[in-house]
Structure 1
Amino acid sequence: MVSLDEKQQKKRRKGFSSQDMKEMLSGYLYISPFFIIFAIIGLYPAIFSLILAFQKWNGMGEMEFVGLNNFQVILSDPLFWKSVYNTVILGLMGTAPQLVIGLILAFLLNLSYLRFKAFFRVTIFMPYITSMVAVALVFSVFFSNNETALVNYIIGLFGFDPVSWKTSEWGAKIAISTMVFWRWLGYNTIIYLAGMQSIPNELYEASKIDGASIFQQLRYITIPLLKPFIILTVFFSTVGAMQLFTEPTVFLGNTAFSRDEAMTVVMYLYRDAFKLSSFGTASAAAIVLLLFIVVASAINMLLTKRLGRDRRET
């Protein structure tokens, strides 16, 4: 026979389990809006794009399964490889310098004897919070093809001929990469600055006593201890560079999708989907772009980790 105490213990356990279940369900209900929104605007489009990569569809009629034909089309298209080349070049020209200069600026902003720190920090972060369309429009004026444009006027002072920034191969790349550099420099600088403020000041004071210069402090103290932040910015910059779209589109205007001087991979798949109504090849290009991003991010992160190990060994 079951004793009275055992019955009471079973009731307590049953009530406790029921209360735990209610609390668990309540917690899931609180976080469910995020997962619902993510499933609608994130997960579903990704799955649907994966399905479209193997279909022929113009956005209106019925889908037709074509297997790997969409991948064959884009991989045999010279314009696609031109867009890959443009994406890589713009990424290197626009993001690599900002990581190096951002690290140097963050180090200078973190100096204890620097005055007006708050002013400089806000100023350098302002481009990031500025509307990208407004930035692109301003740079379109600066890099206009007219001889009286600001940049052409400046280079004219040094004896150089005016450049057709929006029509020349390297002119467009320089203008767009400058725009990308200017906008994202402050973002990476603030991340580095936040990391530097977590480094104990005693390390810098001890290095000063030992006679270390500012460059030696940056090389042997700041950079090694900032390794997690450097990896983070390299990863974000790589992903952002491979997804470049707004800057060249707004800068080049109506001719952005009809010329190939600065067409990126995202512009290529956008053109296929919304200009040519070829959603299958656009989805295939998106999947290939995803593979490129994964490979490029992995290579950058491995190189960053290796540089950190090499520095420690020396």
Structure 2
Amino acid sequence: MLKKFLYSQKVAPYVFVLPFILVFIIFWLYPLGNSFSMSFQKTTLGQGAQWIGTDNYTKLMGDGVFLKAVTNSVIYMVMTLAILIPFPMLFAVLINNKFMWGREFFKSTFFFPALTSVVVAGTIFRLMFGEMEGSLINSFLGLFGMEPMKFLKGQFTGYIALIALATWRWTGVNMLYFLSGLQNIPEDYYEAASIDGASPFQKFTRITMPLLKPTTIYVLTISIYAGLAMFIESMMLWNGNNSPKNIGLTIVGYLYRQGIEKNNLGYAAAVGIVLLAITMVINLTQLAFSGMFKKED
């Protein structure tokens, strides 16, 4: 009877999706609901919880350090989008060209940084952008007669170090996404365009970019989330969660500071809910502008 029930055509689909539903409820929906409830409380480990209404959110809006963290995260997100969307797409187009030699070598080379631990990568970049004359970047600047710079103590130069780390780690990953999208574009389109006398630039703008739209939207969506949720890179680059004048503090870093370092769990939960709201608003807006919610004719 049980076997007949499980193998039923009406029941089988639900059996297959049940593991996903359980994981979604246990590891995402329940923690989200619990965090939302906690954000309206003053909660500390060992002292219980006290309901305080919207006080945590009211405090957040006037918290200069939190606003600094939001600004840092948004700037980081925008800068990574400006680099990690167009350049990986361009590299993917070049590598996908049938006249390109050593394609597998370049694929491996670009993807290799993603396999490196972010802890190791952050430590290496911290040494590269160190303020001593012997650090790699300052040694390079010295070749042009420039004075050593304290990259990790300035706002703009700190962004340069963070973006350099992000570019090094994620260019190859995004490139592979675009490569998978390019391989789904029929070669006949390009051959027909060549017969009509289209230039390589026209092929790219009239064929490649429009047909890569689904892949581009996907990469854009995950990049927005990754940019706003960045934390470990900043923590490793500044060797802790306390960068000079909070120039490297992110939203998740502030959540960690409040929840783990200061044991202010209710306030940290409010930070997490605000982060989720910001991410959802930005992503839903870009999905709406890209036409993802429009019904096909």
Structure 2 length normalisation: TM-score?
A: 0.90
CA distance in structure 1 between the aligned counterparts of 2:147 and 2:199, rounded to whole angstroms = 42
CA shift for structure 1 position 258: 6.9
Shift in Å, 1:30:
6.5
Q: Which residue of 1 aligns with 2:104?
A: 118
Structure 2: distance between partners of 1:252 and 1:77: 23
| Residues 128-167 of structure 1 mapped to structure 2, 5 A cutoff | 128-167=114-153
Q: How does 1:30-45 map to 2 (within 5 A)?
A: 32-45=18-31
Moved more, 292-301 or 59-68: 292-301
Matches within 5 A, 1:289-308: 289-305=275-291
- Secondary structure in 2 matching 1:146: coil
SS at match of 1:63: strand
User: Structure 1's 28 and 136: CA in aligned 2 closer, same or farther, altered over 3 A?
Assistant: same
When structure 1 is superposed on structure 2, of 197-206 and 34-43 the one drifting more is: 34-43
Q: Tell me by how many angstroms 1:34 deviates.
A: 4.6
Distance 2:237 2:89 in 1: 28
Taking structure 1 as reference, are residues 35 and 126 closer, same or farther at Cα in structure 2, changes over 3 Å only?
same
Q: 1:118: how far off? A: 1.0
* Distance in 2, Cα, partners of 1:262 & 1:217: 41
- Please state if 1:104 is matched with 2:94: no
Residue number in structure 2 paired with 1:49: 35
CA distance in 1, matches of 2:285, 2:136: 39
Q: Counterpart in 1 of 2:295?
A: none
Question: Match of 1:73, SS?
Answer: helix
Q: Deviations over 1:83-113 (max 9, x none)?
A: 1110011112223211100110000011011
Tell me how far apart the structure 2 counterparts of residues 134 and 84 of structure 1 sit (CA, whole Å).
26
Shift of 1:183: 0.8
d(CA) in 2 for partners of 1:247, 1:213:
41
Q: Is the 8 A contact 2:241 2:249 kept in 1?
A: no
Q: Quick check: 1:137–1:250 contact (8 Å CA) kept in 2?
A: yes
* Alignment CA distance shift 1:40-1:126 (3 Å): same
Whether the 8 Å contact between 2:252 and 2:272 is mirrored in structure 1 is yes
The count of residues paired between Structure 1 and Structure 2 equals 290
Q: Is the 8 A contact 2:6 2:15 kept in 1?
A: no
Q: 1: CA distance between counterparts of 2:13 and 2:180?
A: 32
How far is 1:223 from its partner? 0.2
Match for residue 4 of structure 1? none
Q: How far apart are residue 274 of structure 1 and its match?
A: 0.7
Does the CA-based 8 Å contact 2:72-2:247 persist in structure 1? yes
> RMSD value over aligned CA atoms?
2.2
Secondary structure of the 1:240 match is: helix
1:222 paired residue number: 208
Q: CA deviation at 1:31?
A: 5.8
- Quick one: which of 69, 79, 85 aligns to 1:83? 69
Secondary structure, aligned partner of 2:239: helix
Shift, 1:227, TM fit: 0.6
In structure 2, the partner of 1:309 is: none
Contact persistence 1:98–1:184 (CA under 8 A) = yes
Residue type of the partner of 2:93? F
36-45 or 141-150: bigger deviation? 36-45
Distance (Å, rounded) in 1 between the aligned partners of 2:3 and 2:260: 52
CA drift at 1:37: 4.2
Equivalent position amino acid for 1:185 in 2: T
Contact 2:153-2:244 at 8 Å conserved across structures: no
Is the counterpart of residue 23 in structure 1 residue 19 in structure 2?
Answer: no
Runs (5+) with no aligned partner, structure 2:
293-297
Q: Which residue pairs with 1:11 in the alignment?
A: none
Aligned to 1:72: 58
Greater Cα shift, 43-52 or 77-86: 43-52
What is the distance in 2 between the residues matched to 1:29 and 1:217?
46
Unpaired segments of 5 or more residues in structure 1? 1-14, 307-314
Specify the structure having the higher radius of gyration (Cα).
1
Please say if residues 241 and 253 of structure 2, whose CA atoms lie closer than 8 Å, have aligned partners that are also in contact.
no
Provide the C-alpha distance between the structure 2 equivalents of 1:305 and 1:101, rounded to a whole number of angstroms. Answer: 24
**Aligned partners of 2:102 and 2:49: how far apart in 1?**
61
- Residue 268 of structure 2: aligned partner: 282
What residue number does 1:7 align with? none
Change (3 A) 1:36 1:262: same
